[in-house]
Amino acid sequence: MLKINCPVCETEFEIREDYLGRKLQCSSCNSKFYAWRDEKSGEILAEPLNQSVSKWIRCPHCWNYFDYREINYISRHIDLLGDNVLGAEAQARFLPLRFSANGLAIDARGNECPEMACPRCHLKIVDTMVELPTSFFSIVGSPASGKSYFLTSMIWQARKYLPKYFEYNMTDVEPEFNGVLNGYERTLFLSKEPQRAIALPKTELQGNGYSNQVLLDGVQVDLPRPFIFSLSPMPTHPLYATKRNMLERNVVFYDNAGEHFEPGRETPSNLATLHLIYTDGIIFLYDPLQDMRFRDECSEDDPQVQQLESANQVTYFNEMTSRIRQFTGLHSGEKYRQPLVIVIAKFDALKDTFDFPVEADSYIRYDEEKMEYYLDIQCIANVSFLLRQKLLDIAPDLVGAAEAFSETVYFVPASAFGRAPEIIEGAGQLPNGKNILGIRPEMIKPLWVEVPFLLQAYLHGLIEGRVCPVPDAEEIANYKVFEDSIVFAFPGSRTRVQLPANYRGIAVYCREDGKYYKVPAFEGDAPGSAGKTAPLEGQIDSDFWSRQ
């Protein structure tokens, strides 16, 4: 056996003679390198490959930011049971001193240990968290707003749309992390009895599948379980050869129970919503069926209309923004810099009263010359505008709170099922006396549920989007600009419209006269830049590509 040192972190380990000349990987820092014997001196030399090595890692469980050299490994020998953070039943975590010829850490009983863990919370860290940059996205909403259904349907659709239209693969980094979500997908989309109505369980505050309990600094703490995916460009992606390493990344989603956002829930022992500090984008679900002001807009045949009790969902939104401001140091007049997508969920109950068609795939366009698909940002932004106008008539407090908080806000209609659920016959009732509702898998046809994530991906430069021109759209000549807002009135109307900057260059539809009018672009705007806050090289968050 030959002793060599990693040329990056200088960790010493042993290799066999026949490993010389091969590509090796250090398990301490994960850097790749070649080792060979110098012909003249006989000395063993090592040189790192030309690669970008991630030096720092953000734990997806406790959000600890640590040097990769501090990473722990999970012991494998049965005698090494018991961990001071995870409890007596967990395998011990350790900082390795020895590595095998395969580059694997060796525990105190001589077993090779491939699995890594965070040095603070001791929860498992997958290999790709070390190798690739990571983007976090938070799903937020009140209790019973349909977050679990929404997230399941969104991921299911995104897994189909990304490779079909945008030359990306979205895969589980490890099934263990996405077990709950994969189970939901099987229930909704891969059922053996698609004609039988089913229902998903409510997202719990804590427990198996929803959170992990760890001992941090002597305090028992609940941490939410992340859903982790790998997003990687396909060889046919136009930037595969030149910017593959910038596009390839981990994508982490968090689905909290709505009760986590009740005032007073955030305590030293419950850090379930701390991910909001580090998120690269927020998707907030607003359930119109929990707002009495929307009842007249909803279908009377929808059984949810009679079952759900009214809730002040803006209170949950304000609690969320308060926590973000508190922990990030944003002052009251400073706007949040990450994109916020307000999803009007269960849109199937509203679509008959929404006087503009929202059709599946209507936001996807094809460039015949380049043979590439792209997001039609004109379509998405115009639907956002029309939905925003409707919300201003019914729930203006939601629009005001959202646009006072974030620089970039879109309103997106979505339906996880594409139709209303039904009462499950013979299933009994809930403890509150209400009927149990479900959906027949064979009837599910999601509507725009994937758009919030695709829009977030566009805003961060991961997929292409363009503002497609609208024929005969008239320019708005009379307008005023106030910092990041633009104020105007449609010709012939005395109603003032005030829009944030992400609508610049968009043609918006006027319901009064049935025409499109183009919102003026700001000085210096590039064609098709509406809503996109920065190009690939300079994202909304300057640390997006190398999360600090």
DSSP run (H or E) holding 160: helix 147-165
Q: What's the token pair of residue 518?
A: 């183009």
Please give, one letter per residue, the 3-state secondary structure of 23-68: EEECCCCCCEEEEEECCCCCCEEEEECCCCCCCEEECCCCCCEEEH
Task: Quote the CA–CA distance of 258 and 150 in Å, as a whole number.
Answer: 14
Element (H, E) at 184: helix 179-189
What values do phi and psi take at 221, rounded to 5?
A: -125, 140
Considering only CA atoms, which of 337, 325, 365 is closest in space to residue 464? 365
Per-residue pLDDT of the chain (548 residues; tens, 9 = 90+): 778 888 877 777 777 776 776 667 776 666 777 777 776 677 888 877 654 444 688 999 999 888 888 999 999 999 999 999 999 999 999 999 899 888 899 999 999 999 999 999 999 999 998 888 899 999 998 888 888 899 999 999 999 999 999 999 999 998 888 888 999 999 999 999 999 888 766 544 444 556 788 988 888 888 888 999 999 999 999 888 888 877 899 999 998 765 666 666 665 556 667 788 889 999 999 999 889 898 888 877 778 777 667 788 999 999 899 888 888 878 888 899 899 999 999 999 888 888 888 999 999 999 999 999 999 999 999 999 999 999 999 999 999 999 999 999 999 999 999 988 888 776 666 656 667 788 899 999 999 999 999 999 999 989 999 999 999 999 998 899 987 889 999 988 888 999 999 999 999 999 889 999 999 986 656 544 544 443 333 333 333 333 32
Strands 219-224 and 211-216: antiparallel
Distance of CA 479 to the CA centre of its chain: 36
Confidence at residue 219, expressed as pLDDT on a 0 to 100 scale: 86
Neighbour count for residue 48 (Cβ, 10 Å): 15
Give the integer Cα–Cα distance in Å for 225 and 181: 11
Taking residue 314's Cβ as centre, other Cβ atoms within 10 Å add up to 17
DSSP structure string for 453-472: HHHHHHHTTSS-EE-PPPTT
- Cα 510 to chain center, whole Å? 33
User: What CA–CA distances, in Å, run from 2 to 24, 46, 101, 113, 152?
Assistant: 14, 12, 9, 21, 50
Other CB atoms within 10 A of residue 100 CB: 16
> Distance between CA 341 and CA 241 in Å, rounded?
32
Do 487 and 496 contact (CB within 8 A), yes or no? yes
Q: How far apart are CA 314 and CA 321, in angstroms?
A: 10
Residue 301's pLDDT is 76
| Cα 530 to Cα 502: distance, rounded to the nearest angstrom | 5
Strands 219-224 and 282-286: unpaired
Nearest to 457 by CA among 255, 167, 177, 172: 167
- The answer to whether the CB of 511 falls within 8 A of the CB of 490 is no
The residues near 302 (Cβ < 8 Å, ≥ 6 apart) are 289, 348, 349, 420
Alpha carbons within 13 A on the beta-carbon side of 369: 0
Decide: 369 and 495 in contact? Cβ < 8 Å: no
Classify domain 2-48 at the CATH class level. mainly beta
Exposed / middle / buried, residue 468 (Cβ in 10 Å: 0-12, 13-18, 19+) = middle
Model pTM score: 0.83
Neighbours of 50 (CB within 10 A): 6
Q: What is the 3-state secondary structure (H, E, C) of 135-158?
A: EEEEEEECCCCCHHHHHHHHHHHH
Q: What H or E segment, with its residue span, contains residue 221?
A: strand 219-224
Q: What is the DSSP string of 299-367?
A: -TT-HHHHHPPP--HHHHHHHHHHHHHHHHT--TTPPB-S-EEEEE--GGGTGGGSSS---TTTTEEEE
Pick the CATH number of 133-203+225-266+276-468 from 1.20.1440, 3.30.1050, 3.40.50, 1.10.10: 3.40.50
Cross-strand partners of 447:
415
Strands 409-413 and 340-344: parallel
Give 364-427 as a 3 state SS string. Answer: EEEECCCCEEEEEHHHHHHHHHHHHHHHHHHCHHHHHHHHHHECCEEEEECECCCCCCEECCCC
Contact status, residue 24 vs residue 34, Cβ threshold 8 Å? yes
Considering only CA atoms, which of 357, 302, 309, 131 is closest in space to residue 228? 131
Distance CA 161, CA 168 (A): 9
Q: Are residues 380 and 451 in contact, defined by beta-carbon separation less than 8 angstroms?
A: yes
pLDDT attached to residue 80? 96
pLDDT of residue 544: 33
The single residue listed with the structure tokens 């990987």 is 25
How far lies 144's CA from each of 141, 185, 287, 292, 430, in Å? 8, 19, 8, 15, 13
